[in-house]
């Protein structure tokens, strides 16, 4: 009997259906974020409507509203995804000894995050819509989290030149994706170039 019960539980149609619905909803949410991010970046946040996002996705506005009621909701969700990864990286750094190797590893991990995810696309969107988003709450949060990361790269009493180089290290990783975007390079080559410059800047 226990074996029969276990098989029955494994094949529970209602459980499988719920899991399938949840996967579909997560996929739809991700697609909305991806399409909205592209439209916001290409044609501007203010110039993009929810109707255009829905049309680009091939869904009704009602389906879009199920996940996001406003454009601000989409922006907030994108920023929160990025902020969450930065917070996790800052938490990791806080638990490590403040050594040169920890600083280098922090830079490597941040470079990996930029390479693996859509963080660089989100940063490009912020950059191109600074006027529209300057008073958006997520912008202040984003700045604060980046300052948290930068704080791990410097020590109290460091001279101004060291603080400046350390700060520029993280921005060098960003610049690799912005300034080299039109070069005939692979993403891996871009990441490698940015990391090399960042590690050089962070050297004491």
Percentages helix, strand, coil for the chain (3-state, rounded to 5) are: 80, 0, 20
Q: Is residue 164 part of a domain?
A: yes
Q: Which domain holds residue 132?
A: 75-204
Question: Would you say 166 and 154 are in contact if contact means Cβ atoms under 8 Å apart?
Answer: yes
Residue 33 confidence (pLDDT):
94
Residue 124 confidence (pLDDT):
84
Q: Is residue 4 part of a domain?
A: no
Report residue 187's pLDDT band, with 50, 70 and 90 as the boundaries.
confident
59 and 135: one domain? no
Q: Is residue 5 part of a domain?
A: no
128 and 82: one domain? yes
Q: What beta strand segments (E) does 29-94 contain? A: none
For residue 48, what is the domain's CATH number? Answer: 1.10.10.60
The tens digit of pLDDT for each residue in 7-25 reads: 444 566 655 544 444 444 5
What's the per-residue H, E or C state across 101-136? HHHHHHHHHHHHHHHHCCHHHHHHHHHHCHHHHCCC
Give 15's contacts (C-beta < 8 A, 6+ positions apart): 9
Q: Is residue 201 part of a domain?
A: yes
82 and 179: one domain? yes
Polymer length of the chain: 204
**Roughly what angle, to the nearest 10 degrees, separates helices 187-202 and 100-116?**
160
The tens digit of pLDDT for each residue in 33-74 reads: 999 999 999 999 999 999 999 999 998 888 899 999 999 999
91 and 191: one domain? yes
Number of domains in the chain: 2
Percent of the chain with pLDDT over 70: 87
52 and 89: one domain? no
What's the rounded mean pLDDT across residues 67-85? 90
Q: How many C-beta atoms surround the C-beta of residue 95 within 10 A?
A: 7
Rounded alpha-carbon distances, angstroms, from residue 48 to 44, 73, 101: 6, 14, 44
d(CA 23, CA 21): 5
pLDDT surpasses 90 at 109: yes
């Amino acid at each position: 009997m226990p074996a029969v019960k276990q098989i029955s539980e494994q094949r529970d149609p209602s459980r499988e259906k719920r899991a399938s619905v949840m996967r579909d909803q997560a996929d739809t949410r991700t697609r909305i974020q991806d399409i909205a991010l592209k439209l916001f970046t290409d044609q501007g946040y203010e110039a993009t409507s929810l109707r255009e996002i829905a049309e680009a996705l091939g869904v009704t506005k009602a389906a879009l509203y199920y996940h996001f009621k406003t454009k601000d909701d989409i922006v907030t969700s994108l920023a929160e995804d990025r902020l969450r990864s930065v917070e996790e990286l800052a938490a990791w750094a806080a638990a490590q000894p403040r050594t040169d190797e920890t600083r280098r590893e922090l830079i490597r991990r941040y470079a990996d995050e930029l390479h693996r995810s859509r963080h660089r696309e989100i940063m490009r969107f912020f950059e191109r819509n600074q006027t529209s988003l300057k008073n958006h709450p997520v912008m202040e949060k984003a700045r604060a989290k980046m300052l948290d990361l930068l704080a791990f790269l410097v020590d109290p009493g460091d001279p101004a030149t060291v603080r400046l180089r350390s700060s520029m290290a993280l921005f060098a990783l960003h610049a690799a994706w912005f300034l080299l975007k039109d070069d005939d390079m692979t993403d891996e080559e871009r990441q490698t170039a940015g990391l090399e410059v960042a590690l050089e800047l962070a050297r004491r």
